[in-house]
A and B are shown apart, each in its own frame.
Chain A
Amino acid sequence: MARKTFCGSLAHAMDRRAFLGGAAAAGATLAADMTALNALAAPDVNKSLKKAQKRVILLWLAGGASQLETWDPKPGAPTGGPFRSIQTDVPGLRISELMPKMATRMKTTCVIRGLNTKNGDHGSAAETIMRGRRDEAALRYPDLGAVVAREMGLPDSKVPDYVTFYTQTEGRGMAPGNAGFLGARYAPMELTTNNYPEHIKRLDGITDRDHIERGQLRDLLGKQFAQGRSSETMNSQTEAYQRVRGIMASEKLFDVSQEPQKVRDRYGPTQFAEQVLIARRLVEAGVPFVRVGRAWWDSHGQNFETHQEMVPELDHVMATLIDDLFERGMLDDVMVLTLSEFGRTPAINASLGRDHFASAWSSTITGCGIKRGSVYGKTDPKGNTVTAEEVDAGSLFATIYSALGLDPNKNYYVGSRPIPLVNPGVEPIKALVG
């Protein structure tokens, strides 16, 4: 089946043209070599990009972080665990004492406490939360990163459109980045062994001139082959090769040693901290979507010690990222999400653990068009059920898309079948999109 991923709508065309017009001056300066990234970092270019392009950093808390030890504490309840709650800078909003740094930054953030996603299985739940809905038998949906790459990426971009860090092995296979029916063009650059992309550097055995000339030869042969032919696969391959020089130029973005030491110190020495700092470097250079997977929160045993170890790291890194984006004037343009495949049971098991729980859990959205300092959703005193403002994966995604300036009802086409960004009838949470 031939796939059509450009909807052809007036709105889409206008959006693309609007951006391309706004970035025309910038685009002219973006030579396809190592100087391009410096151009992207130039103030005028940044300003141009900011007007037209939102970006997303997803902090993927793989395995299922506990809402009770983060965003929806229930101190004193039999299910509450040992941690206290602390007051935040939003009147009436309390979060776990494990997050003192975020407690002073909740005015930047929206907490969604009423997630009921009904699926407690790691694999299928992760797919649902990555895509906003479950696949159909004959249709694989793109994940959030692929959609954002599709919508926010630039045709002639010198940087990747979608990057995902997922260095731990546990859970990686359950939440792979996937472009679904959008095709491989929007699949992520996956970093799974370290923070630096493999095979991004030019081989030592050939010179830069050799590399350019080989590209020119390949381009010539490709054009000759393409004469009289039309194929999406061929176009995709050609497009990929056209991006090679640019992607190679993005090499330095992944090199955290390029950051001043005081910035590195500010984020901290952990792997998660370094990957989030690289994510900031990437979005600053124009990468539309970066996911940093932090494993592994699946705390069936010693839940409180697991969270005592991991939540302070999340608190510090997330707070530092928000500060950094704010200071760079980027918080209106970069959305920071925290998502897991689900939360954890209020019931405390015999191993002092909490198990899988998708009925009443939490996530956060910071930046872009989301209402700051807001809380949406309530759970009962023990945290077992959502009692108000329930949210499912679909409406969460519709809200994210709306905050990014995307119409959730916009259609892609698979053949002649229109496929909206979210399932028909799913609405964004109006109270959160300002």
Chain B
Amino acid sequence: MNAPNPDTLKLAKDFSRPVITFAIARADGSETAYLGCSDFKVYAADFAAARFEPKELYAHESYVTGVALAGTTLVSGGYDGKLTWYDTAEKKVICTQDAHAKWIRKVIASPDGTTVASVADDMVCKLWDAKTGQLTRELKGHKEKTPNEFTSMLYAVAYSADGKLLATGDKVGHVVVWDAQTGKQLGTCEAPVMYTWDKVQRLHSIGGVRSLAFSPDGKSLAAGGMGKVGNIDHLEGKARVEVFDWKTGKQTAEFPGDKFSGLVNRLAWAPDGSWLVGAGGAGEGFLCFFDAANKKTLRQEKVAMHVHDFAITAAADQITCVGHNRITVHRLG
């Protein structure tokens, strides 16, 4: 199946929201999406409704930064360190787990919907039974401290399309690839340019690997973040994507960014691998399309908000972006 051409990208819907939306989960073909927000709440949003009015489902005790759909089960995670399982058919909370000691940064479901993975600033990736909420495995391969004795952060996690691989990425640009079944480390990649430690001017850090995505064939791993930052008071580093042959750890392509500043918070590949899309931002946001094989930037499109997450359909013909006080739907093809 050929992926739609990024040149056909068009804004289809644009909604304003009174809160920041950090995470979205939307099943393929469904008009309903689930949103994790800065008012600590999880919402269900109907994109086919005449009036866009997301409905509150339940709440966490801090920002909700991860939502994942495993069949009819929704799992959400937040900066309160908790994971909540919610039955979208029965419309009720199944259970809540004290999952992590620090902020949960991202929650994803395995492609077969049996497992949910969460990453948090306790620097552990945890795997959970999607149905029962039972912890099945802990993956520890990231250091708790940066080289400068400050706390590190574990931002990103991604499954391969076949569900056999899992990748995690942290603040200092260290990426680990795991065997999702056994928990064994299979490889590492390094993206140190995405980590800025400013010793001379400000004595603190910024950046990190904020997003990861395996190519459809599982051979390449893309990492998104931000390039070196001069004034780290702001997210002024160029949006940056690097692509690795994860088995060797060798970088095969880099997109240092030339148009937009800020973090690449979400990455996804087209189903045929012909392009890679990244979204993120700082004061304003973007959608950028890259040809990893030919090392070309295909399209860079401004989005009217700092994008924190998106949901993309299996055919890559629709991208629903969520972020700072807005939600947009773009169509391709």
A interface list, Cβ under 8 A from B: 63, 76, 78, 82-84, 167-170, 268-272, 294-296, 298-302, 305-306, 308-310, 312-313, 348-353
Contacts and interface: CB of A to CB of B under 8 A. Distances in A.
Contact of A351 (B18, B204, B235, B325): B235
Q: Which 4 A-B pairs have the closest CB atoms?
A: A296-B202, A301-B235, A82-B63, A170-B201
Nearest to A170: B201
A295 B204 CA distance: 8
A84 B60 CA distance: 12
Interface stretch (B6-14, B251-259, B280-288): B280-288
Nearest to A78: B39
Contact of B233 (A76, A271, A301): A301
A310 B40 contact: no
Interface of B: 18-20, 38-40, 61-63, 79-80, 103, 121, 148-151, 153, 200-206, 232-236, 262, 281-284, 305-306, 324-325
Nearest to B155: A305
Given A305-B153, A351-B262, A299 B233 contact: yes
Contact of B62 (A82, A167, A294): A82
A63 B121 CA distance: 26
7 contacts: A78-B38, A84-B80, A170-B201, A295-B201, A301-B206, A302-B206, A350-B325
B202 A351 contact: no
A350 B202 contact: no
B14 to A, nearest CB: 16
Contacts of A170: 201-202
Contacts of B204: 296, 306, 309-310
B202 A309 contact: no
Nearest to B78: A82
Contact of B324 (A63, A269, A295, A350): A350
Nearest to A303: B233
Q: Which of B19, B236, B283 has the most CB of A within 10 A?
A: B283
A348 B80 CA distance: 19
Contacts of A299: 233
A83 B235 contact: no
A310 B204 CA distance: 8
Contacts of B200: 168-169
B233 A300 contact: yes
Contacts of A84: 61-62, 80
Central interface residue in A168, A268, A299, A352, by most chain B CB within 10 Å: A352
A222 B214 CA distance: 78
B62 A83 contact: yes
Contact of B281 (A309, A310, A350): A350
